[in-house]
Amino acid sequence: MTEHAARRPFGERLASALAERGPLCVGIDPHPQLLTEWGLPVDVAGLETFSERCVEAFDGVALVKPQVAFFEAFGSAGIAVLERVIGALRSSGTLVLADAKRGDIGSTMDAYARTWLSDTSELRSDAVTVSPYLGFGALAPALELAAQTQRGVFVLAATSNPEGAQVQRARVDDGRTVAQVMVDEAAARNTGAVTLGSVGVVVGATLAAAPDVGELRGPILMPGVGAQGGTADDVRRLAGDALRSVVPNVSREVLRAGPSVAALRAAVARAVDGFSFLQA
């Protein structure tokens, strides 16, 4: 039996983790400013120390999201640190979402998919973020490989950056926004899911309005909570009837509690408590 044949689908594993550990995704974002605030050098040694403390502190979190770009900025040595981070999280039983936001066509998209979703890659994660704005169909290599290996995909649907509206709020011939099309396409991939589907979407918690996610049947990652201004009330408003599928993403607010592992853990606990209503 292959490794992925014995693995439950990502959506099921995420649903169990959220129920057991609380509704939260925490980011590992080694931004140069944070390294400095933690008293660490802005180099590979600082990156490694920052990451090790995060891995230790976030053991017990339902979903941990390393921001790939901050590791890539240090070249091959940074990628090596990212490999160790992902490996350590996997070994602890923590679900890993690689925040890579990959999106391309053909063989290039296939290569991105193999990087994050194949059983043989050193960067293999439980799920990856992808950008559908070369057309949802261009994501097929990632969606197909994720289904084969029982991993997950989070599709950028409605992001909170002001520039996103230029594309995401445009309307197609049937009157839907492009963001709504992306949600509906993701929903179609979750048909038949027993608990939570493995194709999720990303919806910014700071948006004034968001696409209808009521029929998604998959996880809804909501970044922008905490330091960026998103609140629990925003999560309720934007999620509507799909509230139980929301995974709030809190990164900066937690990370600013460092560098103490104990302080990071306390910040995680506060964040989980703040979203306990998602499990009511």
Q: How far apart are CA 205 and CA 203, in angstroms?
A: 6
Query: Residues 7, 90, 101, 256: which is the catalytic one?
Result: 101
Whether 65 sits among the annotated catalytic residues: the reply is no
Q: Which residues have a catalytic role annotated?
A: 101
